[in-house]
A and B are shown apart, each in its own frame.
Chain A
């Protein structure tokens, strides 16, 4: 392609002309990276080391008080692997994450595209609403949803009964885990959409109108314009949003915890709830750290494809 050729020639011209800057060029990335790396390293190095070390120790309240863990090798890990509940929770969490991330990405992008199409006033209102949703503290937002679906005082039951969709008097949405998870998915997706929409919208606004107009002049219909011009430019953003959404939805905690009045039944355990109930709440920090390590490995495996793409992206200069 012409662009690549001109890239190469430009690059080689630059190399010949600015060779004395090569040293500077070699140091520059490290200099740019250093401040962020220092902050991350200084704060997280020891905690991450601690988590790794605690995961191979028995470290309950007894050990915590004496600041001395007891080495038990991989016992924490074997305990996790032999726990049938762990595997059930894992599968449930993976399915939950897949559903939520897909819904969030699709709906989030759709609303971002919608933002492009609407007139200024509606756009202002809609982005304002999205930011207000994003800005509401999670715990409070979940509290509000908890009320909305409350058996006695919830307006969802009231509205459905009024609309003659059935008798929802004192209907508890969480008796049946399927309906319970439907509500929780709606809550999670609702809370996650603003971030995706606003980021995608910001990305869309970077797409130069000329490219779009050029494609439209060539006779392309809007769906094709979206696919051929916009989507490739947005790809790095989508990859990042997808991987971040996977990581966050995998760790969903508050939505389950507060919706179920801080006493979820085992049917509702997701990984972070399971980890909290089985370890941290009982002050078993060794076991909890092991579960954390396992969670990181699993999340890594699940997002591996995306990470590889992110690493590769931008490799062609």
Chain B
């Protein structure tokens, strides 16, 4: 009897498998369909823009379908590789602007014409750069975000700081006032700076005229041990030593500075625009801080300028394997028009064109970051850059310098050598 039960169970299972197979394979007629891969940010931040884009697209191409699938940053490249290998690549894919170079160099994206897209004449040069390779335009700027100093107005006021610092020296002096007033709490930082926060550290390097690497005669050379860079990192070390009690071996995402900030033990930190609402999210942070939070661009050591900020962002590309390239281009054009860029800006980002920066004005949560974007730096445009990040060269260097386990000269020299080696490999 048990044997019969076993057989019945097997048959039932096979039928279930067959059912799931059948339910998945509906074939529609000859309707055109494009598959769009966007990241979760669009789903959570500006879903109305996605819907508007699809509507506009369908108005232009009646009967066409758009299948928007949301991906996850940590593993989306593996999925993209698999999809390309299996001939299932999407027609539009969102890429991080630090991810594009490798794919452009491999010829993964189809060339596009700037004139097909709205506002293309005024595209942010940083984003446009991440879409250009070998003289061709291979993707479309989408949006970007900058970092600025997020701070607590009540702490500043209580420590006697008027307004916000306009130079780095003033910033340090203000920070010391904060440490004097609140520093008896072991957890307190006037300027919370996790040791592996290389984005902010490199801001110092570029502010003093240094660079991560330069390309001469077809070869890359790591230049973090140049005199300017060493000056910058020495300055960084003194700033962090005086003003920060953050652990020196963690990076800017573990935990996000919003979290100790929400606990009241941080007066200021350098963060992305979205880290502000993250602090106020009741599920993670402290909504009571809303009235005492504000932001300003990190001041440069040169009066009248800001410290260059890293412009992280996203681009939209059309994989070369797509069979519906012109449809894909039309959808991207519909998605990146001014109206949708306004929705993206409203969510705390910087839209893809300088002419649209006006969208960020008047919104105190976005304006400081848009202002900070005026001075920016970007990673060396080498297809091998991803390997430098994989090898943690910059994170380890920053952590070594700030903790004192290596001298600035020694740490920058070994980092530069590693960068030279990795960028020139292959």
Q: A150: which B residues are within 8 A, CB to CB? A: 254-255
* Interface check B84, CB cutoff 8 A: yes
Interface string of A164-187 (1 = CB under 8 A from B): 000001101011000000000000
A-side interface size class: 20 to 34
Interface residue from B85, B249, B391, B396 paired with A151 (Cβ < 8 Å): B249
Q: B386: which A residues are within 8 A, CB to CB? A: 281-282
CB of B106 within 8 A of CB of A263, answer no
CB of B107 within 8 A of CB of A151, answer no
* Interface check A106, CB cutoff 8 A: no
B405 to nearest A CB, angstroms?
9
Which residue of chain B lies nearest to A264 when distances are taken between CB atoms in the complex? Answer: B392
* Interface check B333, CB cutoff 8 A: no
Interface residue from A65, A153, A280 paired with B78 (Cβ < 8 Å): A280
A interface residues with partner B (beta carbon < 8 Å):
60-62, 64-65, 67, 146, 150-153, 169-170, 172, 174-175, 261-266, 277, 280-283, 285
The 7 closest A-B pairs by CB, nearest first: A61-B106, A151-B247, A62-B106, A172-B249, A261-B254, A170-B247, A263-B392
- Rounded to whole angstroms, the CA-CA distance of A75 and B396 in the bound complex is 31
Q: A67: which B residues are within 8 A, CB to CB? A: 85
* Interface check B303, CB cutoff 8 A: no
Identify 30 residue pairs between A and B in the complex whose beta-carbon atoms are under 8 Å apart, listed by A's number.
A60-B106, A61-B81, A61-B103, A61-B106, A61-B108, A62-B106, A64-B84, A65-B106, A65-B108, A65-B321, A146-B254, A150-B254, A150-B255, A151-B247, A152-B255, A152-B260, A153-B259, A169-B186, A172-B247, A172-B249, A174-B249, A175-B249, A261-B254, A263-B392, A263-B395, A265-B392, A277-B390, A282-B390, A283-B81, A285-B81
Interface string of B376-401 (1 = CB under 8 A from A): 00000000001100111001100000
Interface residue from A64, A65, A153, A263 paired with B251 (Cβ < 8 Å): A263
CB of A283 within 8 A of CB of B247, answer no
CB of A152 within 8 A of CB of B247, answer yes
Which residue of chain A lies nearest to B106 when distances are taken between CB atoms in the complex? Answer: A61
Which residue of chain B lies nearest to A285 when distances are taken between CB atoms in the complex? Answer: B81
- Rounded to whole angstroms, the CA-CA distance of A2 and B287 in the bound complex is 79
**Among residues 167 to 193 in chain B, which have CB atoms less than 8 Å away from a CB atom of chain A?**
186-187
* Interface check B102, CB cutoff 8 A: yes
CB of A64 within 8 A of CB of B249, answer no
B388 to nearest A CB, angstroms?
11
Which residue of chain B lies nearest to A174 when distances are taken between CB atoms in the complex? Answer: B249
Q: A285: which B residues are within 8 A, CB to CB? A: 81
Known: A150-B255, A151-B247, A151-B249. 14 other contacts (CB 8 A): A60-B106, A64-B84, A65-B84, A65-B107, A65-B108, A152-B260, A170-B245, A263-B392, A264-B392, A265-B392, A277-B390, A280-B78, A281-B386, A285-B81
B106 to nearest A CB, angstroms?
4
Interface residue from A64, A152, A153, A277 paired with B81 (Cβ < 8 Å): A64
B254 to nearest A CB, angstroms?
4
Q: B251: which A residues are within 8 A, CB to CB? A: 261, 263
CB of B320 within 8 A of CB of A65, answer yes
- Rounded to whole angstroms, the CA-CA distance of A80 and B319 in the bound complex is 32
* Interface check B31, CB cutoff 8 A: no
Q: A169: which B residues are within 8 A, CB to CB? A: 186
* Interface check B56, CB cutoff 8 A: no
Q: B390: which A residues are within 8 A, CB to CB? A: 277, 281-282
Q: A64: which B residues are within 8 A, CB to CB? A: 81, 84-85, 106
* Interface check B253, CB cutoff 8 A: yes
- Rounded to whole angstroms, the CA-CA distance of A278 and B305 in the bound complex is 40
CB of B396 within 8 A of CB of A265, answer yes
CB of A153 within 8 A of CB of B249, answer no
* Interface check B293, CB cutoff 8 A: no
Which residue of chain A lies nearest to B10 when distances are taken between CB atoms in the complex? Answer: A35
Q: A172: which B residues are within 8 A, CB to CB? A: 247, 249-250
- Rounded to whole angstroms, the CA-CA distance of A281 and B76 in the bound complex is 11
B194 to nearest A CB, angstroms?
10
CB of B107 within 8 A of CB of A62, answer yes
- Rounded to whole angstroms, the CA-CA distance of A150 and B396 in the bound complex is 18
**Among residues 300 to 318 in chain B, which have CB atoms less than 8 Å away from a CB atom of chain A?**
none
Q: A62: which B residues are within 8 A, CB to CB? A: 106-107
- Rounded to whole angstroms, the CA-CA distance of A186 and B259 in the bound complex is 27
